Amino acid sequence: MARSPQPSGDAAVVRITGIAAGGAGVGRLPDGRAVFVQRTAPGDRVVARVVEGKKRWARAQLLRVLTPSPDRRVAPCPHYGRCGGCTLEHLAYPAQLRAKASLVVEALRRIGGVEAALPEVTASPDEFRYRNRVSFTLVRLEHGRVVAGFHELEHPGRVLDIGADCLLPEPAVSAVWGRLRERWGLDALRLPAGARLRLTLRGTGAGPVSLLVDGGFGPGRPDELLADVEGLESIWHRPGDDPERPAVLLAGAESLPESWQEEDVALSGAVFLQVNRAAAALLEEHVVTLVGDVAGQKVVDAYCGVGLHARRLARRGARVTGIELDPVAVAEARRGAATGDAAEFVEARVEDALPAALPAGLVILNPPRAGLDAAVPGQLLAAPPGRLVYVSCDPATLARDLGRLAAGFELRSIRCFDLFPQTAHVETVADLVRVRPGGD
C-alpha cells in the first residue's frame, strides 16, 4: 500500500544524497517524494520539516543534523545562517567542485538528453574574496533607516544587512562597500531616491571601484558621496527596471582602466566582465587552447562583450566577427582591437546578426544565463560551422541548447570552471563538432 504524503509542517528523517541546482541538498521523504533541504550536504542524515509540498516533490527546512557528512564544515562567514548570497559554504571546497560536476552531467542528461562523463572542474585560485563585482539590494525603511545586503535564504522577500565583513568581494571592493555605507547619509540621501535600489560595485585590478545604482530616480548627491568615499572613482545610475537601458554617469571618471590578462579594457557603466578574474583567466586560456590554430579561419564571436576572445583570435590570424547588443561594450571592443586586426564588431542581437555572419569555421557562443535565443540553434543548423565552443553560466540552459543542436553537432568534450565558489553556479565550456552527412 502506498504511503500517505508527508503533510506540510511535519518533520521527517531524511538522508541527503546530492545537491540540486539551487544549492539545496536532495533526499527522499518517507512517502517517496524528492525533498530539497537547504544547508545540507550529501551524506548527511537530518531532521527536516516540510514547508512546501507538491505531488512529486517537497521543500523542507533543516531542523538538526543527526549524522553529519564527512564533507560538512562550519561555514566561515558569520552571516551564513540567514544569508542567501551563498548556498554551499557549509561544504568543504573539494565537495563543492564534485557537486558542480554532478549538476552539469545531470542537467545535460535530464534536460538535453545528452550523455556525458563527469567533467573535470577547475578550481578557483581563490575560494573567498574573489568577486570583482558584487550587487547589494538597498531598502529604505521608516525614520531614515536603511538596510542593504543580500536577500535572506528562507525569506527571500527580506534583505539581510551585510557590511564589509562579507567574504565574497575582493578586498578593495569590500573596503569601498564599508565606507559607502558609512557615508551615504541618513536615509541614504546621497544616493538616488526610491524605496528599493540595486547597488553594484565593481573593482579593477589596480584598486579603483565604480558604483552602478539601478532603480529609483533623481541623482541624489553623487559629488558629495564620491568625495567622501576613498577608492570610489565613479557613480552611475540606471533609472527604472530595464537592464538594457543605458546607465548615466552621475559623478567621477567616465571609464576606469582595467588590465584583463594581456588586454587593456576601459570599464564604464554596466559593461560586463567575469566576476572572478583569476578563474576567468583559466577559462579563457582553455578556450584559446581548445580552438587551436585559427589562422585564415572565419570566426564568429557571439555575445562577445568587449571582444576579448575576438581580439585574441584576430591577432592569431583569424577573420573575426563579434556580435554584441550592448552599445557601450561594442564601442570598447572596437577601441581595444589593434589597428590592422581582422576583427569587426556588430551591435545587434545575436539572432538578428548571426545569419549574415555565417558560414564560419568556428563559432564561439557565450550567452547570458538565459542561454541562446530560440532562433539561434536553427540558424546554426542551417549553416553549420565546423566547430562550436559554447561557454555557459547555467547548466540548464546549456543542456536545453545542446539538445536543440544535437541534430547537427556532436559534443566532443566539456570542462567546468568554478568562477563562483560558495554558490551552486558553475561555468561550463562545451566543445562541439559538426556531424557530417554520412559520418565522413
How much is the pLDDT for 271? 85
Are 139 and 117 in the same domain?
no
Q: Do 243 and 138 share a structural domain? A: yes
Domain co-membership, 138 together with 116: no
Say whether both 105 and 189 belong to one domain: no
The DSSP bridge partners found for residue 410 are 433
The candidate with the shortest Cα–Cα distance to 307, out of 254, 243, 260, is 260
Q: What's this model's pTM, rounded to 2 decimal places?
A: 0.93
Do 288 and 432 reside in the same domain of the chain? yes
> Within 13 Å of residue 362, how many CA atoms lie on the same side as its CB?
25
> Which ranges constitute the DSSP H helices of 119-201?
171-183
State the total domains in the chain: 3
CATH of the domain at 411: 3.40.50.150
Residue 50 falls inside a structural domain? yes
Q: Are strands 25-28 and 34-37 parallel, antiparallel or unpaired?
A: antiparallel
Residue range of the domain that includes 142:
133-256
Query: Of all residues in the chain, what percent carry a pLDDT higher than 70?
Result: 96
Q: Give the integer Cα–Cα distance in Å for 286 and 6.
A: 47
Q: Using the 3D structure, point to which of 197, 227, 256 is the last residue of a domain.
A: 256
pLDDT of 134 higher than 90: yes
pLDDT, tens digit, 9 for 90 and up, residues 272-306: 889 999 999 999 999 999 999 999 999 999 999 99
Question: Whose CA is closest to 343, among 315, 362, 383?
Answer: 315
Q: What is the pLDDT of residue 1?
A: 44
Question: Is 321 a member of any domain?
Answer: yes
DSSP state letter for 119: P
**Shortest CA distance to 61 belongs to which of 31, 40, 86?**
40
pLDDT greater than 60 at residue 439: no
Interior/surface letters 229-257, b for 16+ CB within 10 angstroms, e for the rest: bebbbbbbbbbeeeeeeebebbbbbebbe
Q: What cell does 98 get? A: 564534485
The 10s digit of each residue's pLDDT in 98-119 is: 999 999 999 999 999 999 999 9
Do 165 and 147 share a domain, yes or no?
A: yes
Q: Rounded distance, CA 93 to CA 124, Å?
A: 10
Res. 84: pLDDT tops 60: yes
Chain segment 317-347, per-residue pLDDT in tens: 999 999 999 999 999 999 888 655 689 999 9
Same domain, yes or no: 56 and 140: no
User: Which H or E run contains 129?
Assistant: none
Residue 248 grid coordinates: 548615466
115 shares a domain with 63: no
Question: Would you please indicate which residues are annotated as catalytic (active-site) residues?
Answer: 393
pLDDT value at position 378?
98
> What CATH number does residue 26 fall under?
2.40.50.140
Structural domain contains residue 146:
yes
Q: State the average pLDDT over residues 306-313.
A: 92
> Is there a contact between 6 and 31 (Cβ–Cβ < 8 Å)?
yes
Q: Identify the pLDDT of residue 342.
A: 85
Report residue 286 as a C-alpha cell.
Answer: 582553455
Rounded Cα distance between 35 and 46, Å, is 12
Write down the residue that cell numbers 569555421 correspond to.
361
Indicate whether 303 and 415 sit together in one domain: yes
Averaged pLDDT, 15-24: 96
Reply yes or no on whether the pLDDT at 163 is more than 90.
yes
CA 27 to chain centroid: 26
Phi/psi for 336 (5° steps) reads -80, -15
338 touches 319 (CB < 8 A): no
Place of cell 533526499: 27
- Compute the distance between CA of residue 260 and CA of residue 391 in angstroms, rounded to an integer: 18
Cα 373 from chain centre? 18
**284 in the same domain as 430:** yes
Runs of H (alpha helix) within 229-370: 277-291, 308-315, 327-336, 350-357
181 and 295 both lie in a single domain: no
- Do residues 161 and 138 make contact, with C-beta atoms less than 8 angstroms apart? no
Same domain, 434 and 299: yes
